Amino acid sequence: MAEKTKTELETLERKISVENRGVIATADFVDPEELYKELIARVQKYHPNTDISMIEKAYQIASKAHEGQMRKSGEPYIIHPLCVAIILADLELDKETIVAGILHDVVEDTILSKEEIAEEFSEEVAELVDGVTKLGQLSYDADKVEIQAENLRKMFLAMARDIRVILIKLADRLHNMRTLKYMKPEKQKEKARETMEIYAPLAQRLGISKVKIELDDLSLKYLEPEAYYDLVEKIALRRNQRTEYINSLVDDVAKHIKEADIQADVYGRAKHFFSIYKKMVNQNKTIDQIYDLFAVRIIVDSIKDCYAALGVIHEMYTPIPGRFKDYIAMPKPNMYQSLHTTVIGPNGAPFEIQIRTYEMHRTSEYGIAAHWKYKESGEGSSVVGEEEKLSWLREILEWQQEISDNKEFSSLLKSDLNLFSDTVFCFTPSGDVKNLPNGSTPIDFAYAIHSAVGNRMIGAKVNGKLVPIDYEIQNGDRIEIVTSQNTNGPSRDWLNIVKSSQAKNKINQWFRTQSKDENIAKGKELLINSAKQKGFDLGDLNKPKYQELIKNKFGFHSWEDTLAAIGQGAIKEGNVINRMHAAWEKDHPVKVTDEEVLAEHSGTGEKIRPKSKNGITVSGLYDVSVRFSKCCNPVPGDEIVGFVTRGRGVSIHRTDCINMINLPDFEKERLIEAEWAQDAEDEGQKGGVYLTEINIYGNNRTGLLVDITRIFTEREIDIDSIHSKTSKQGVATITIKFGTHSKEQLRALVEKIKQVESIIDVERTRG
């Protein structure tokens, strides 16, 4: 079979994506007026009597505010907010949300203020727009953990105030992902990773499968383009054959359901690309070995009819043991309800059947968005208590207050979002249902009841029998926790056993509380030693003003809490001292010239040499002490800049180093021109070695690290250190520090690594 061009593959993709997409996409380069008409048509479809004057006004204001602005695609910018509003209309949201969707960029990109929006529309619309504006961009960069965690905190606080803020943000992200092809390749991968880690799981948490499905597929398209288009081609190849088979099954099921006197709609649904890809990876199978590429869905009037239809299906086909799930009796945390059963089809291949009511179907498609339908009066309805149903959101908001360490918060949050897709249901002795992440233990169950139960736990009974504390809970287990007042509390080993983020957080919280006094004393000692090491006077820094700055930065209620966190290792003492000292310096500026600071490190006072021992020329100064920064690791060929340190000469950084880019204004006067000596690269080739560091992103597989390190061995490049971690989605991040002679050698190495199978991207660290 001849290899298809990208254009041919994209054509195939459009043909078979129709059955996979929930939210209706809009074509590129559509006239804004046509888009606006489409928006109004969709709104009037689900609420024909609505007053569209507010939407009309929003469109006029946004058009004027964005006049002259263009997107990367070359389209007028107004196209973007209109498409966001259309996505919100497809979710059948209230007009306030749609208006906020149209206006969501006007505060950020134009001079229109929140107050003016409130005056023109309402306080409700202004708050929604302001909420979206304040969220900003979530950073994927692992070296910006604090920035990312702060933005995640903002997102969940915004959700607590009004979940519609996040619905607008999801619509915004969905349209940006649809137009991602106009961005640079490295930006495409960054946005796709961010979407797969945060936005798609969030859409699933909110129960909005229509959005989640498309975000998943689009992320896969840019993270694994070869695998994605290979999937497209293979699915398209057998599409007609598969369609015939699905239609015959649907006809057969519909006939038997009708004969049982059950009113129902029956249709087939193709599994989306990412779902198929995940099965192939998890089960290590080819697409030809995956049978359930589709499901048959039965939608009925009542819960009684759901179970009646299930009986009909199990009479028609042989059910596979262990593959029946009753999400009606035990709904998922995102309110999803259905009966799922997998049966053996006429040709011997298994397929899934989903049975639900029309109301359940609406909730499965729209999730939390289903509760913002227009009232008959035409006014946007508010949802009283809907957020209360989202226990996971309450849990995350509790973490906001309990966890000060940004890295821990970010890690817990991503873990919690990703664990959600697989859950296990179990019962308390009184018959209450608890849902936990798949693989949970009795310890997870105990902390799901209450932290006091978990802290006093000494054992557990499952279905009346004592079990080990690391027993893996199965669906339908009845669990009883054995507690004692005399226990010393949880063990640190439990952190390696538990599966749920809730249990991990509560165990960590117990240890934080128990050892607070000890940690406060240790924190004080660490601060004193750190200040002494850096040559700072702690008496100058340890003032209420600077303590307040640190408390606010890390979200602590008191200085004692801050000291306890330092003592526990939740935040680094050096980081605290540096921030306090930077604030102190700002209050006590000392004008020192570069020459004065560097005088301590001058040689004999002779004229500047053509190059230093490091191959660096510092323009216009006498012989000075020069060292390479460890944050960005410059090598010959990089554009560089010098930073005059106090007491350690000149530190050489790359000009794209994050630390230099984010340097406070009052520190920028210490930057100084620096350049490589003309023969620095030649010196490198003769044996001079410069440390540098790269991050490698790839789909994890057996032998990936071996293939990468083999390239270093072949090129006789010494590796200094390797660190590797893998996300829940199977994306490996490998950080390698090594010695190189020049930027050219580094460039050739990176290009070679990019050719390794499964590699997504390779980039140098920038501080």
Residue 69: count other Cβ atoms within 10 Å of its Cβ: 13
Which of 422, 458, 464 is closest to 440 using CA atoms? 422
C-alpha span between 36 and 34 (Å, rounded): 5
What stretches of 301-395 adopt beta strand conformation (E)?
318-319, 325-326, 339-344, 350-357
Rg (CA), the chain: 30
Residue 299: count other Cβ atoms within 10 Å of its Cβ: 22
C-alpha span between 624 and 673 (Å, rounded): 13
Three-state DSSP class for 313?
Answer: helix
- Kindly name the residue from 10, 109, 472, 480 that is annotated as catalytic: 109
Is 251 an active-site residue? no
φ, ψ of residue 336 to 5 degrees: the values are -65, 135
Query: CA 248 → CA 252, 253, 266, 290, 739, distances in Å?
Result: 6, 9, 12, 20, 63
Q: Which residue has the tokens 């080993």?
A: 493
Is 109 an active-site residue? yes
C-alpha span between 310 and 351 (Å, rounded): 14
Please say whether the beta carbons of 545 and 378 come within 8 A.
Answer: no
Element (DSSP H or E) covering residue 93: none
C-alpha span between 81 and 85 (Å, rounded): 6
C-alpha span between 593 and 663 (Å, rounded): 18
- Kindly name the residue from 108, 186, 600, 669 that is annotated as catalytic: 108
Please say whether the beta carbons of 684 and 636 come within 8 A.
Answer: yes
What stretches of 608-758 adopt beta strand conformation (E)?
616-618, 626-628, 640-644, 650-654, 671-676, 690-699, 719-726, 731-740
Q: Which residue has the tokens 């390479």?
A: 628
φ, ψ of residue 31 to 5 degrees: the values are -65, 135
Active site residues: 108-109
